[in-house]
Amino acid sequence: MVDETPAAISLIDRPAMLDRRDRFLGLLGTRSIIMGILNITPDSFSDGGKFFSLDAAKRQAQKLADDGAGIIDVGAESTRPGHTPVAADEELARLEPILGKLTSAINIPFSIDTSKAKVARRAVELGASVINDVWGLQRDPGMADAVAETGAAAVIMHNRDGTDPDLDIVADMRRFFDASLRLACDAGIPSVRLILDPGIGFGKSRAQNFTVLANLAALKDYGLPILIGVSRKSLLAENSPTPADTSVVRTLAANLAARANGASIFRVHDVAEHVAAFKVFDAITRC
Closest to 137 in 3D by CA, of 156, 121, 120, 111: 156
Residue 236 — φ and ψ, nearest 5°? -80, -10
Three-class DSSP labels, 137-198: CCCCCCHHHHHHHHCCEEEEECCCCCCCCCCCHHHHHHHHHHHHHHHHHHHCCCHHHEEEEC
Q: Are 85 and 77 in contact (CB under 8 A)?
A: yes
Q: Is 118 a catalytic residue?
A: no
Q: Is 204 a catalytic residue?
A: no
Q: Are 32 and 261 in contact (CB under 8 A)?
A: no
Q: Hey, what long-range contacts does 270-275 have (CB within 8 A, 24 or more apart)?
A: 270/231, 271/34, 271/36, 271/63, 271/64, 271/67, 271/68, 271/69, 272/67, 272/68, 273/248, 274/34, 274/248, 275/34, 275/67, 275/68, 275/69
User: CA 153 from chain center: how many Å?
Assistant: 11
* Active-site annotation holder among 116, 121, 233, 250: 233
Q: What residues are labeled active site?
A: 233, 267
